[in-house]
Amino acid sequence: MCPLMGRVSINAEIAQFSAGVDIDPSLWDAKAYCMTGKSRHAIEVNHQIKQLRERIDRYYKQILDEQGYITAELVKNAVSGIGRKKENLLELFWEHNEEYAKQVGVTRSGESLRNYISVYKQTERFLQVHYGIEDIPLRQLELSFIEKFDSFLRIEQGFTAHTVSGYTIILRKMIRRAISQGTLHKNPFAAYIPEQPPRKRRHMTQDELEKFMNIPVVSKRLCHSRDMFIFATFTGLSYADMCNLSEENIHKGKNGSFWIRINRQKTGVRCDIPLLDIPLQIIEKYKPERKGDKLFNMVTLPRVAVNLNKVAKLCGIEKRITYHQSRHNFATLITLSKGVPLETVSQMMGHKCFRTTQIYAKLTRQKINEDMKKLSDRIGQKYKLPDNNDKSK
């Protein structure tokens, strides 16, 4: 076997490249530029050669139309994928995912990569089912495309509105990438606004949290997941930050108090969080079980979610409990409702934008009532309505 080479000749200029396939020289027809025989290998190679010829012709016309001149080197580079802009949606999407994968563990997480791969597969399936094609040119994208994709995800795939919103955000990111590389000059999805149902309350009630903390739990694994949830409720740490939490993140203040000092994995923002009695007790409880410098032996997030809902069932809590709900508990029940300023909460939660904290922190009726009572006591008898019946005045 030997590698098959390709050669482009334009205006006496020659450029050679690898066709990316190995062949048996004894079966090569040098005049017809194809394999002889009807073997499976010969048929596959001839099909690849045919596709390669079509690609060369397409790139030749495309480069000539866009640049007004053509060279053998330009065609060779286009065929080899060197310096060529991705013209199709899935092609561009694949390029993005390959680049993203190289950053996993450095600046990106594996979970985020899995989300991009999932959206890629759904887009690929959507194109096959509704358009009968393997890919679509970026220049052919219109508003109707993402609207149909939205319906496909909601109706045919049965995804929730929240999931559809996340998927379309990633798809629109590919459009911004196409614009930045110059393939598109405007956003075809600019007028698209995904339908979003009103969000329900994300934090627990005070009564639910107390039940969750105090219900007797025999199972050690359920107890562990609950303790991790409670720890996050009193510190505001995300699951990823809990996994990274180590002894070096615990600092002792001058007054003897203990603090968590950690850079959030998601935003890189430094968080300084005072450790209250309950999280300190949890740290001590699991100290004998440590396998390294990490404070806790965290189980997978899906397993934690299953365990939390089993505990919720024991408490008589019917709504679904997620680990991320602990951050909402921290923002609303533990801090804001107890009078901690929103700016302080934002710093402890490691948010870059103050508006993000407002999404987490919700004012409760109890908090409003307490604040208004304080205001009433502060004002006292300073203000009075004039007595219109008192004519002497």
pLDDT at 201: 55
- Over 70: is that where the pLDDT of 390 sits? no
Task: Choose from 58-67, 68-77, 149-158, 313-322 the range with maximum mean pLDDT.
Answer: 149-158
Lowest mean pLDDT among 143-147, 148-152, 169-173, 191-195: 191-195
Give the pLDDT score at 341. Answer: 84
- Evaluate if residue 275 carries a pLDDT over 60: yes
What confidence score (pLDDT) does residue 362 get? Answer: 62
Q: Give me the pLDDT at residue 41, please.
A: 87
Overall average pLDDT of the 193-201 stretch = 68
Question: What local confidence, expressed as pLDDT, does residue 198 receive?
Answer: 60
What pLDDT band is residue 204 in, cutting at 50, 70 and 90? confident
Q: Please tell me the predicted confidence (pLDDT) of residue 90.
A: 94
| Rounded average pLDDT over 94-116 | 86
Residue 381 pLDDT grade (very low, low, confident, very high; cuts 50, 70, 90) = low
Higher pLDDT, 108 or 222: 222
Mean pLDDT of the chain: 86
- Higher-pLDDT residue of 17 and 93 is 93
What would the mean pLDDT of 159-178 be, rounded to a whole number? 92
User: In which band, very low, low, confident or very high, does the pLDDT at 380 lie, cut at 50, 70 and 90?
Assistant: low
pLDDT of residue 37: 87
**Distances in whole angstroms, Cα of residue 310 to Cα of each of 202, 214, 217:** 19, 14, 10
Q: What is the pLDDT of residues 319-364, one digit of tens each?
A: 888 899 999 889 888 887 787 888 888 888 888 777 777 776 665 5
Is 176's pLDDT higher than 80?
A: yes
Q: Is the pLDDT of residue 52 over 70?
A: yes
Q: Which residues contact 385 (CB under 8 A, 6 or more apart)?
A: none
| 374 or 60: which leads in pLDDT | 60
On the question of pLDDT at 371 being above 80, the answer is no
- Model pTM? 0.58
Q: How confident is the model at residue 254 (pLDDT cuts 50, 70, 90)?
A: confident
